[in-house]
């Protein structure tokens, strides 16, 4: 029977872009928000740490919102939560590990004690106003991921979250195909499905596929082994621990994020290993080098992460030596390729053998997202009246729509939406209304300052503390300075009255460069970050001001 009730669907982020996943769903007087994610800024967003969706619409409708529902704990799904909760005080529902990650974020923002966190389990149902929500277990690259089945007076909505269908998950928590089949029999009004891997044919391999490649690499490694992956990939961490045990090696974790996740997962019983297998960084120096495995952050080439620092001999706990092995067990996120490959070059120069996701078989990394055949299965199983692809850039949403059309399993309409679109489904009709206000809000996490426009933020920053431009001329072949560093300042301090300070600042730059290796000096990204970091510390210590520091590197 077709209902005459209507349901409003408004994605506030995550459609037509990667990151900032957030969707508003309303039926009658009850609404929920699905996920609250962030994205990381492009290089041109100077001084910006993270980008979150504009939540003006949520603030306008806060009285209708019953809860925020989280599908899993990746930053592109939970990272904006502290900023949302500061304006919209509603309960947050999520699984155990998801909420453990959320608690850490909320504690950083001073919101933990004031937030109502409700832990749920797969197949649990909760009533939120006129809506009933069931959490359905799915497999993904992070543990405790769920899809959502939302029963509304207008019909059933199924939101997959991020998923793949892994028949042999490391933690034995299988994809709950039975629940999707049951909802398909009951009748699904609308399906919202992850589009990330729609351009990949076939099925995404099981996480267990990585085991064989790790065995192969560990068996022939002569020196120390360094493995870098996403910190929240507990399945991958379990494989590292299992393989290290098999080959009689011990494990140390490098990088704050990796160490925090390891400790959290261990406390929650999500990693299974002999506690004697792991050692603290520093203690391993008493052990034979060829018996060690280091697990490090920095798989995307982030300049200050552990692996990037190891690549240029900047990590205090570990230095690469000839015959060491480095495994980068993560895909290169689009836009990060140059940073990752530059880091790989540095590692090779130090004599390491480097393995990364180059398409070789067996794989060194497998995706957490469903490929085309799995996406077809989801559509054919739920047989929705309306299909809306989510989570991806526009070409991926279009490819997913085309895939849905090929299945002939969508009875009414396939709708490609973008962030800000307002879809109303009523009976057999689906109509796109005028867009709601959406956009990106840039955040400086150091001050938790919200920035509506990057230009306004930069103007305000410069007007308060000024700007400092260190100008450094470096020989791109030898790494030698062609002349002494020059410091140009505007809006910070009067140059003629602070000559000694600027002379000392020039000395800080000189010391930073002299203390850097040839590779660091000839790698603009690394040396720029090091100079910025050291000058910011120096100026704050001397003046209690935080000028914007923008090094200008001239390669001669």
Superfamily grouping for domain 209-355 = Metallo-hydrolase/oxidoreductase (3.40.50.10710)
Question: Could you tell me if 390 and 192 are in contact, meaning their C-beta atoms sit under 8 angstroms apart?
Answer: yes
Which residues are CB-contacts of 295 (< 8 A; sequence separation ≥ 6)?
Answer: 226, 227, 228, 229, 237, 240, 251, 252, 253, 254, 258, 262
**Per-residue pLDDT at 502:** 86
Inform me whether the pLDDT recorded for 1 exceeds 80: no
Q: Encode pLDDT of 399-444 as tens digits.
A: 999 999 999 999 999 999 999 999 999 988 999 999 998 888 877 6
Confidence of residue 47 (pLDDT cuts 50, 70, 90): low
Task: Say whether 369 is catalytic.
Answer: yes
The torsion region of residue 485 among left (phi > 0), alpha (psi -120 to 50) and beta comes to beta
**Per-residue pLDDT at 332:** 85
Distance separating alpha carbons of residues 392 and 198, to the nearest angstrom: 9
Domain residue spans of the chain: 6-202+367-442, 209-355, 458-555
Exposed / middle / buried, residue 201 (Cβ in 10 Å: 0-12, 13-18, 19+): exposed
What topology is assigned to 458-555 in CATH? Ubiquitin-like (UB roll) (3.10.20)
Helices 499-514, 524-543: inter-axial angle, 10-degree rounding: 140
**Per-residue pLDDT at 492:** 79
Inform me whether the pLDDT recorded for 458 exceeds 80: no
Distance separating alpha carbons of residues 234 and 328, to the nearest angstrom: 15
Per the listing, tokens 């399945």 go with 235
**Per-residue pLDDT at 478:** 77
Q: Encode pLDDT of 462-471 as tens digits.
A: 556 788 888 8
Question: Could you tell me if 160 and 176 are in contact, meaning their C-beta atoms sit under 8 angstroms apart?
Answer: no
- Tell me the mean pLDDT in the region 28-39: 95
Tell me how long the chain is.
Answer: 556
From the options 3.40.50.720, 3.60.15.10, 1.10.3720.10, 3.40.50.1100, give the CATH code of 6-202+367-442: 3.60.15.10
| Active-site residue, from 369, 391, 400, 461 | 369
| Rounded alpha-carbon distances, angstroms, from residue 58 to 151, 451, 512 | 21, 18, 46
């Amino acid at each position: 029977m077709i209902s005459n009730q209507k349901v409003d669907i408004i994605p506030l982020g995550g459609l037509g872009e990667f990151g900032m996943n957030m969707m508003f769903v309303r039926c009658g007087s009850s609404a929920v928000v699905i996920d609250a994610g962030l994205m990381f800024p492009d290089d041109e967003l100077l001084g910006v740490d993270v980008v979150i969706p504009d939540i003006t619409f949520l603030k306008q409708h806060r009285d209708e919102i019953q809860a925020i529902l989280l599908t899993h704990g990746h930053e592109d799904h939970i990272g904006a939560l502290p900023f949302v909760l500061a304006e919209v005080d509603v309960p947050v529902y999520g699984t155990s590990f998801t909420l453990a990650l959320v608690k850490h974020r909320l504690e950083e923002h001073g919101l933990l004690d004031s937030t109502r966190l409700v832990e749920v389990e797969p197949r649990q149902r909760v009533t939120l106003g006129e809506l009933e929500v069931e959490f359905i277990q799915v497999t993904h690259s992070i543990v405790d991921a769920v899809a959502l089945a939302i029963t509304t007076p207008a019909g059933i909505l199924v939101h997959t979250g991020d998923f793949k269908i892994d028949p042999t998950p490391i933690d034995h928590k299988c994809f709950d195909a039975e629940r999707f089949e049951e909802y398909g029999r009951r009748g699904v009004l609308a399906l919202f499905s992850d589009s990330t891997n729609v351009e990949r044919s076939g099925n995404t391999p099981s996480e267990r596929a990585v085991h064989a490649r790790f065995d192969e690499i560990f068996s022939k490694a002569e020196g120390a082994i360094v493995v870098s992956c996403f910190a929240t990939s507990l399945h991958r961490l379990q494989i590292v621990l299992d393989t290290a045990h098999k080959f009689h090696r011990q494990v140390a974790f490098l990088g704050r994020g990796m160490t925090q996740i390891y400790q959290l997962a261990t406390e929650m019983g999500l990693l299974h290993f002999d506690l004697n297998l792991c050692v603290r960084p520093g203690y391993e120096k008493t052990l034979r080098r060829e018996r060690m495995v280091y697990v490090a952050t920095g798989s995307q080439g982030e300049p200050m992460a552990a692996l990037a620092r190891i690549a240029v001999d900047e990590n205090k706990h570990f230095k690469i030596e000839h015959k060491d092995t480095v495994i980068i067990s993560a895909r290169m996120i689009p836009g990060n390729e140059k940073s990752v490959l530059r880091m790989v070059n540095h590692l090779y120069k130090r004599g390491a053998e480097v393995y990364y996701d180059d398409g070789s078989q067996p794989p060194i990394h497998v995706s957490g997202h469903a490929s085309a055949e799995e996406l077809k299965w989801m559509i054919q199983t739920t047989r929705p009246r309306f299909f809306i692809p989510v989570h991806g850039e526009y070409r991926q949403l279009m490819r997913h729509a085309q895939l849905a059309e090929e299945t002939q399993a969508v009875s009414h309409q396939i709708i490609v939406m973008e962030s800000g679109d307002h879809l109303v489904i009523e009976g057999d009709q689906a109509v796109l209304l005028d867009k709601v206000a959406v956009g990106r809000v840039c955040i400086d996490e150091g001050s938790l300052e919200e920035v509506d426009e990057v230009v306004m933020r930069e103007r305000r920053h410069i007007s308060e503390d000024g700007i400092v431009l260190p100008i450094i001329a470096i020989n791109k072949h030898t790494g030698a300075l062609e002349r002494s560093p020059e410091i140009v300042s505007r809006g910070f301090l009067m140059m003629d009255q602070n000559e000694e300070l600027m002379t000392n600042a020039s000395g800080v730059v000189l010391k930073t460069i002299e203390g850097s290796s040839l590779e660091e000096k000839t790698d603009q990204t690394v040396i720029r970050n090091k100079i910025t970091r050291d000058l910011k510390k120096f100026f704050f210590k001397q003046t209690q001001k935080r000028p914007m520091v923008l090094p200008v590197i001239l390669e001669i």
